[in-house]
Structure formats: C-alpha cells, structure tokens
C-alpha cells in the first residue's frame, strides 16, 4: 500500500494528475482469488472466524480443494451492518483447527480470539 501511494504521489508531482481510478482498483482487489494473503488475528469483538469468498478460493488453489459446508451458516456482524455467511470451511493450522465462515465481503481470513482460545 505504501508503494502504491508513493507511486501515485510521484505521478501527481510529475503530471498534476488527480485520477484515482488506478488506486481504487488496487485497494478493492487486495483480497482476490489470485493470491492467498494468509490468516490474520481478529482483535475485534467477532465471535466467529471469517474469510472472504475470493480468499477461500485462493486458499483452495494454494492448499488443495477445500469443501465448503453450505449447511453451516452464520450471521456475521461487521461494525454496524451484518452479512450472512455462504458456508464454512475447516482449516487445520499449527495451533489447531478453526472453522472460518465464508462471506462476500472485502476481508482476509480473520481468526477470532475465541477460536484461538479453543
């Protein structure tokens, strides 16, 4: 992100361009299905671990097809809005096994503190 901002600042200094279309594209596609970003710790108040659908697809590409359990759904709270999960996956990690609810939101794999306690 810092590199993108530095490049845009340089471009603006040279061309006086204020076009932010390119920046928006980079920011909205940061958790795409082309590259698995990793699992991050969610220090917020989430009660369940979540993952973006496209990051789930990238995870499946990187580590082998992981079945999506569409019978295991939850209503996920993000700040002031909620979104239903489309299913859940089970991920085996060095610290144990966690269930991630897959949502259609711009988020990486977020491991909630309650799952870490388990």
Q: What b-and-e string marks burial along 78-91, b requiring 16 or more CB atoms within 10 Å of the CB?
A: eeeeebebebbbeb
Token output for 3: 């590199």
The model's confidence at residue 19, banded by pLDDT at 50, 70 and 90, is low
Q: How far is CA 60 from CA 29, 45, 47, in A?
A: 18, 27, 24
> Kindly report the CA angle at 70 between 67 and 82, in degrees rounded to 5?
120
Order of strands across the sheet with 109-112?
39-42, 109-112, 49-52, 96-103, 87-93
| pLDDT tens digits, 84-107 | 999 999 998 888 899 999 998 878
Range of lowest pLDDT (43-47, 71-75, 108-112): 43-47
User: Which CATH code fits 33-117?
Assistant: 2.40.70
pLDDT, residue 26, reads 47
Query: Predicted confidence band at 37 (pLDDT cuts at 50, 70, 90)?
Result: confident
């Amino acid at each position: 992100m810092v590199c993108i901002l530095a490049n845009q600042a340089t471009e603006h200094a040279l061309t006086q361009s204020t076009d932010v279309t390119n920046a928006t594209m980079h920011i909205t596609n940061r958790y795409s299905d082309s590259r698995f970003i990793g699992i991050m710790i969610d220090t917020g108040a989430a009660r369940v671990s979540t993952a973006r659908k496209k990051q789930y697809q990238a995870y499946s590409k990187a580590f082998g097809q992981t079945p999506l359990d569409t019978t295991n759904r939850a209503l996920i709270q993000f700040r002031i809005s909620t979104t239903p999960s489309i299913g859940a996956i089970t991920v085996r990690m060095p610290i144990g096994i966690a269930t991630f609810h897959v949502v259609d939101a711009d988020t990486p794999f977020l491991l909630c503190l309650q799952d870490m306690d388990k």
